[in-house]
Amino acid sequence: YAGSVVTPDGPADKAGVAAAPKTGGSPTAEPAPESSGEPASDALKPGMAEIPLSRIADVIKANTPAGEWRFDGLDGKGQGISGVYDDGKGEAAVGVFLNRAGRSAEAGVDMVTCPEKAYVPYDACETGKLPDGSRWMVFQGYEYPDKREETKSWRATLLTKDGFLIDASEYNAPAEKGAAISRENPPFTAAQMKALVTADAWRPLLDQIPPLPTAPAQPGKLGKPGKVRQAPPEIVGNTVPNTLRSLLPKGLKVVDDGGEGEFAFVVVDDGKGKSLVQINVQYGMDDVADQLFGSGDVTTLPDGRKVKLTQQPGEKGGEGVVWWTVDTLTKDGFRVVVGAFNTGAQHEAATRAEPALTMEQLKALALDPKWAKLPAK
């Protein structure tokens, strides 16, 4: 099952270069371990519900069109189940998983936010709100962003007003991965998927999911002996996206943009093809300086800033894609990393020979003093 299930307070990869935007839950992320549809062992993970999987299967069958179902492990307990559905037009894998979104008020919002097309390809995505304030998303995309196989991945997600997630997905093959295509499209329409996740019958099952464990106190990182290092400030709002647009070289037309907080991206076109440009602005990165700048083309400026230049192939499968990066870090751990591609989306083929910005332009962008003046909390 490929639907991502939000796990509370998961750590970010600090060494990641120009990470994907925070908005838009990725439909290809792996599920949390507690969301497995396999029969639960006698020692269930703390905080995991002991819902009979047969009850989850019953709700699925009662809220989908008539057809033949095959589920594994119906005698087990847990929070989700996967199975194979056949309406006579070809077998299709289907899964439904229940979870708590997290501890914060905004937890789970990414799961009901359509992703940016620059990062996740899809044919359709719709969102909305129920009268009680619950939010939903219906997504029709692909199992593989580069479409190396034609497996379609359609999903519907509901974030209830009290912080529960109901996440359902379906495929046009009898398995999420490694199975031949069995039908043109997954079996259920967008409206049927929405009806499935918004069914009232889920509420008694959601009520069986125990509260999340209390988060342990985190006083901050340890610095020198006898000192406690406070958590670094974070940039919030739209200041990074707005600043990125203001610093772009002249002659570039912005055809798409997005991001928030420490991340932003633009897709630009200078008349020679689209080019994706993305940036991360982060505080408190000095503890991974050796990991980030320990090798490669690294120079140190007179003010102590480290600058690393990298030119490499793209990593998302787009044919002929190249990825140019300028990574910078001050002595006190303030990092600005800018990346550019010779395509408007990493998973799509190259649209031009090189990115629209040269390495010198990327370097000037990353080193601009405006980044250090952005407000942070």
Burial of 178 (0-12, 13-18, 19+ CB in 10 A): exposed
265-317 confidence digits (pLDDT tens): 999 999 999 999 999 999 999 989 999 999 999 999 999 999 999 999 988 77
Q: What is the chain's mean pLDDT, rounded? A: 85
pLDDT at 7 exceeding the cut of 50: no
* Coil, strand or helix at 322: strand
* pLDDT at residue 343 greater than cutoff 80: yes
Q: Let me know if 181 is exposed, middle or buried by CB neighbors in 10 A (0-12, 13-18, 19+).
A: middle
How far apart are alpha carbons 88 and 129 in whole angstroms?
A: 34
CATH topology of domain 230-373: Jelly Rolls (2.60.120)
Eight-class DSSP state of 66? S
Phi, psi of 300 (to 5 degrees): -120, 125
Query: Any idea which fold 33-206 has?
Result: Protein Transport Mog1p; Chain A (3.40.1000)
Asked whether the predicted pLDDT for residue 23 surpasses 80, the reply is no
The Cα-based distances of 366 to 132, 234, 259, 333, 369 in angstroms read 45, 18, 17, 14, 9
CATH 2.60.120 domain position(s) in the chain:
230-373
Q: One-letter amino acid identity for 180? A: A
pTM of structure: 0.69
Distances (CA, A) of 184 to 3, 188, 329, 337: 20, 12, 49, 41
Is residue 119 within 8 Å of residue 110, measured between CB atoms?
no
With H, G, I as helix, E, B as strand and everything else as coil, classify residue 289. Answer: helix
Is the CB of residue 247 less than 8 Å from the CB of residue 279? no
Give span(s): CATH 3.40.1000, the chain. Answer: 33-206
Q: Give the Cα separation of 233 and 214 in Å (integer).
A: 24
The burial class, CB within 10 Å (0-12 / 13-18 / 19+), for 195 is middle
Each residue's pLDDT tens digit, 191-232: 999 999 999 999 999 999 998 776 554 444 444 445 555 678
Q: Give the separation between CA 108 and CA 93, rounded to whole angstroms.
A: 24
Q: Tell me the percentage of the chain whose pLDDT exceeds 90.
A: 69
For 306-319, the pLDDT digits (tens) are 999 999 998 877 89
The pLDDT of residue 132:
95
pLDDT at 214: 63
**C-alpha closest to that of 170 among 94, 96, 64:** 94
Higher pLDDT residue, 92 or 15? 92
Residues 6+ apart with CB under 8 A from 66: 87
Angle at the Cα of 262 from the Cα atoms of 366 and 100, rounded to 5 degrees: 155
| Per-residue pLDDT, 317 | 74
Residue located via tokens 């020692």: 43
pLDDT at 159 over 90: yes
